[in-house]
A and B are shown apart, each in its own frame.
Chain A
């Protein structure tokens, strides 16, 4: 049964548009799958390889701007951004990895955080190239409805899922986990840690970049403060994985559902809308203290606690 969960989820997800949801619900579903993709990408680097990145907005933004600049400067369809972002974000991640992967643990975390911020400031200041704070507007939308956007992001998300699963079950996955558990021990066993960390970073960054390129197509407008945002992209990516489950296949999906729905719910509450970051912060603190491996990762613990609560209430 457990083995078939992903296929069942995928089938249900593929059939969902036929239920005749409103465009608002479709928008939420598309957001869920964008975040699932980013979460799985983050999980590949952070969850399996143990390199906690606070700067995935850098890759997301570079992917988004690849699509945006192709459209604004070269007059190409922004959909070309998706294949192009694979190359450009890949190279970008390689260069960035050369710098940040020299660091370990918390230092890596902060260096990635700085990289995201620097990309934002660079994009703001290179007015001639990126349009500065004005951003890039995609004038003509490919489709008015949400249906095709939904299927494209579903395709991207499920492809990412199977890619991550294949990778982690291969030799590479064991190397990643070995690096996470003890980098020095992995090194002494003959694993070229820098090489494998670079692979993890490039893959993770590229997938995030694809999600970014899709975002440009879907939203039709990007500016540095949106796509390079620290709290709204980088931190949310971490939270999705932390809430859903670190180093689990389905964790990012569960996390994305919870976070997107929660964000929409809190923002819709009158008076509490501006406080959503406080509530997210408290949620993050609670998760870190009580469910450090996320809902999927700590599911046995969670169900034990719940069943005990049910029993005592009886």
Chain B
């Protein structure tokens, strides 16, 4: 019975984490779909948002969940600035290596991480919110329950927020004109240009939205995670694994990929050991490349066309 309890608790934990991972992955997959480049500063942007939320809490006592509405626009404009002043000039430059933009984002990430170290020192920080350790227990609601499960309050609230933001993003991409233009640019930039879509503007906006999404994810992470300047790298990797897992540039795939990764990582840390979770990430990544190179998106596509 205890084994089952642990297993179910691990699944719940993984599912909640997966929802947040999906949000990180969504930002990257959006940028990758439209610009065909990987943003290696993705995790560092998240780190910036987390510092924004942290200082908002410490200085003005603004709840991290409210900081979502502050950090997201801030990161949106930061993303726009990076795209407009750094990445766009490189797109025009003629060079031997096609990956120059990716290398550029590495440079941006290095600068952000190092500046954070200089200004905020490399101390581990966390926001001491009152509800950080609160949880809902199953036995409180169902007295005769044979097993005991709990649902951490900050994790659940973050998850709900993530679902809400994801839905809003879906609505934006599917229903609004700007969203449709972004999707058109992702499918075929030349055709979109011929149809009167301002491709250049869409690229800038997409980078902004991608950064904004990861900024929101950062705010949702801060009540449950600790914060230090070098944390960006691991989240860049997570975002990338989700993108591969979900299928390149697919938003639905990114959500499913995030959930899979969250559950898998939770299982590895429970049954193999905490330190091995990043290795588990790589294992699932390799397995996906070998057995399912198109990611979850290719499975979805197969189903849709009945092949």
Q: Which residues of A contact B (CB under 8 A)?
A: 46-47, 50, 52, 54, 99, 102-103, 105-107, 109-111, 113-115, 117-118, 121-122, 124-125, 180, 230-231, 235, 238, 242, 246-247, 274-278, 280-285, 288-289, 292-293, 297
In the complex, the answer to whether A288 meets B104 with C-beta atoms within 8 Å is: yes
Contact with A along B109-126 (1 / 0, CB 8 A): 111011101100000000
- Asked if B111 contacts A281 (CB within 8 A), the reply is yes
Query: For the complex, what is the distance from the CA of A102 to the CA of B287, rounded to whole Å?
Result: 12
Residue of A with least CB distance to B276:
A125
* In the assembled complex, B17 has its CB within 8 A of some CB on chain A: no
Does residue B128 face the partner (Cβ distance < 8 Å to A)?
Answer: no
Contact A288 B103, beta carbon cutoff 8 Å: yes
Assess the A52–B103 pair: CB atoms within 8 A: yes
Other-chain contact of A235, B90, B110, B275 (Cβ < 8 Å)? B110
Shortest CB–CB separation between residue A118 and chain B, in angstroms? 4
B97 interface residue per 8 A CB criterion? yes
* Pairs A–B under 8 Å by Cβ, sample size 26: A52-B97, A54-B40, A99-B290, A102-B290, A105-B99, A106-B36, A109-B99, A110-B240, A114-B241, A114-B285, A118-B278, A118-B279, A121-B275, A121-B279, A235-B106, A238-B106, A246-B97, A277-B110, A277-B111, A278-B111, A278-B115, A282-B111, A283-B107, A284-B110, A292-B93, A297-B96
B66 interface hit (Cβ, 8 Å): no
Q: Which 6 A-B pairs have the closest CB atoms?
A: A292-B95, A281-B110, A284-B107, A281-B111, A277-B114, A106-B38
Tell me whether B118 and A278 are in contact (CB under 8 A): yes
B97 near A54 with CB under 8 A, answer no
CA distance A274 to B278 in the complex (A): 28
- Is B110 in contact with A231, judged by CB distance below 8 angstroms? yes
Q: How far is the CA of A109 from the CA of B109 in the complex (A)?
A: 15
Q: Contacts of B244 on A, CB cut-off 8 Å?
A: 107
B293 contacts A by Cβ under 8 Å = yes
Q: Is the CB of A125 within 8 A of B240?
A: no
Do A50 and B90 form a contact, CB below 8 Å, given A114-B237, A274-B118?
A: no
Q: Smallest CB-CB separation from B283: which chain A residue?
A: A118
What 1/0 flags go to B288-303 for Cβ under 8 Å of A? 0110010000000000
A239 to B37, CA, bound (A): 19
Do residues A50 and B98 form an inter-chain contact, with CB atoms below 8 A? yes
Contact at A281–B114, with CB atoms within 8 Å?
yes
Contact check, A277 vs B104: say whether CB atoms are below 8 A apart: no
Complex Cα gap A264–B93 (Å): 31
Residue of B nearest to A181 (CB): B96
A306 CA / B104 CA spacing, docked (Å) = 25
A281 in contact with B102 given A109-B38, A230-B233 (CB within 8 Å): no
Partner of B289, one of A52, A102, A113: A102
Q: Collect the chain A residues with CB atoms within 8 Å of residue B169's CB.
A: none
Find out whether the CB atom of A122 lies under 8 angstroms from the CB atom of B100.
Answer: no
Q: Is there an interface contact between B240 and A99, defined as CB atoms closer than 8 Å?
A: no
A109 surroundings in chain B (CB, below 8 A): 38, 40, 99, 102
Q: Are B103 and A118 in contact (CB under 8 A)?
A: no
B103 touches A289 (CB 8 A): no
The answer on a CB contact under 8 Å between A47 and B103 is no
Interface assignment of B135: CB less than 8 Å from any CB of chain A:
no
Chain A residues near B36 (CB, 8 Å)? 106
Evaluate contact between A282 and B96: CB separation under 8 angstroms.
Answer: no
Return chain B residues, CB-CB under 8 Å to A102.
289-290, 293
Q: Please tell me which one of the listed residues B93, B103, B241 contacts residue A284 in the complex, with CB atoms under 8 A apart.
A: B103
Shortest Cβ distance from residue A205 to the other chain B in the assembled complex, whole angstroms: 17
Determine whether the beta carbon of B111 is less than 8 Å from that of A242.
no
Interface check B86, CB cutoff 8 A? yes
- A278 to B233: give the CA distance in the assembly, Å: 16
Judge whether B106 and A99 touch: CB under 8 Å: no
Q: Is the CB of A47 within 8 A of B90?
A: no
B289–A103 contact, CB under 8 A?
yes
Question: Which among A52, A231, A280 is the interface contact of B99 at CB below 8 angstroms?
Answer: A52
Q: What 17 additional pairs, Cβ within 8 angstroms, besides A117-B278, A292-B97?
A: A52-B102, A107-B38, A111-B285, A114-B240, A117-B234, A118-B282, A125-B273, A125-B276, A125-B279, A246-B96, A275-B118, A281-B110, A283-B107, A284-B106, A288-B93, A289-B90, A292-B90
Q: Kindly state whether residue B89 has any CB partner on chain A within 8 Å.
A: yes
Contact with A along B70-87 (1 / 0, CB 8 A): 000000000000000010
B86/A47 in contact, CB under 8 A: no
Task: Give the chain B neighbours of A242 by CB distance below 8 A.
Answer: 103
Shortest Cβ distance from B165 into chain A, in angstroms? 24
Q: Given known contacts A115-B282, A284-B104, is B89 in contact with A289 (CB within 8 Å)? A: yes
B117 engages A117 (CB within 8 Å) = no
B286 interfacial by beta-carbon distance below 8 Å: yes
User: Is the pair B40, A110 in contact by a Cβ cutoff of 8 Å?
Assistant: yes
- For B32, the closest partner residue in chain A by CB is A106
Q: How far is the CB of B117 from chain A (nearest CB, A)?
A: 7
